[in-house]
Chain A
Amino acid sequence: MQTYLMAFIIGGLICIIGQLLMDLTPLTPAHVLVLFVVLGGILSGLGLYQPLVEMGGAGATVPLPGFGHSLVSGTIEDINKYGFTGIFSGALRATATGITAAVVFGFLAAVTFKPKG
């Protein structure tokens, strides 16, 4: 129960930050998504995002900063394993399932359904 509550709170708070950025600055949703992935990556590089994941679970991994965290932590993992070439392999390896799912399911949905109106 505790893990679900923490996921709700951490995930909700990250979304509030996104909403405030959209309401109080001229940033569009696309800008917020890009900004969040980059911020998540930087926080991950500084070692600050992993503690958030341990605290919030899916509340930290499901929002877009979690995607940035996966990209960076995957890169660092591969550098530790393979050295220099890990800089090029880690990010996409760690996010391969999500990206492939997004492209394939996105394609299938777009082929199957007609837009409204």
Chain B
Amino acid sequence: MPASDGSEGQQEFQKWYQAQFNQVKPKPPIVKNALWAFVVGGLICTFGQVILNYFLGLGLSMKEAAGPTSAVLIFLAALFTGLGVYDELGRYAGAGSIVPITGFANSIVAPAMEFKREGYVFGLGAKMFVIAGPVIVYGLVTAFVIGLIYWLRH
């Protein structure tokens, strides 16, 4: 450790201290979080592909099969959110459990359950859209604007 006498020494000390500090400071777990998100998100999508292939096997087209596939995933996500399992997974998986459609279902069930005590209308009924509401609002506005542009050009 350099002596800290005078302003020049002080500056040197600051530099030295910063270097020491950077060595012991825990690195933000960005890589670890990204890896968790990749694996869990990837697995949920792979499971989605299994369900999708099942419906395609029944003779549905890709477009017809997408809806039922979402519905099955949403049902399972609602069930596992109710059982408290999905939020436990979310502590590790982060975006891996938020970004798939199962995360959308979780964002509906979790606040609906939590605010049930405030009543079935202003609690459960209103709070279930705390996150899903904005998603639907901005999704529909986007679709409307793009649709309008498409219509004007055709």
Known A30-B131, A75-B143; contact A18-B46, beta-carbon cutoff 8 A: no
Provide the bound-state CA to CA distance between A7 and B95, in Å.
16
Provide the bound-state CA to CA distance between A105 and B109, in Å.
8
**Contact residues of A: prevailing secondary structure:** helix
A interface residues, tally (CB under 8 Å): 78
Provide the bound-state CA to CA distance between A61 and B101, in Å.
9
B interface residues, tally (CB under 8 Å): 76
Provide the bound-state CA to CA distance between A67 and B138, in Å.
12
A58 touches B46 (CB 8 A): yes
Known A15-B96, A97-B68; contact A23-B45, beta-carbon cutoff 8 A: no
Provide the bound-state CA to CA distance between A116 and B113, in Å.
10
Provide the bound-state CA to CA distance between A33 and B94, in Å.
12
CB distance from A38 to the nearest CB of B (A): 5
B-chain residues with CB within 8 Å of residue A51 when the two chains form the complex: none
Known A18-B37, A38-B142, A86-B147; contact A33-B78, beta-carbon cutoff 8 A: no
A-chain residues with CB within 8 Å of residue B103 when the two chains form the complex: 29, 33, 64
Q: Which of A62, A84, A114 contacts B45 (CB 8 A)?
A: A62
By a beta-carbon cutoff of 8 Å, the part of chain B in contact with chain A is: 28, 30, 33-34, 36-46, 48-53, 66-71, 73-75, 78-79, 81-84, 94-96, 98-105, 107-110, 112-114, 116, 124, 128, 130-132, 134-136, 138-140, 142-144, 146-151, 154
- Closest 7 interchain pairs by CB? A11-B45, A15-B41, A12-B42, A97-B67, A113-B82, A18-B95, A110-B112
Q: Give 5 A-B contacts (CB < 8 Å), ordered by A residue.
A: A62-B102, A66-B101, A67-B135, A68-B139, A115-B114
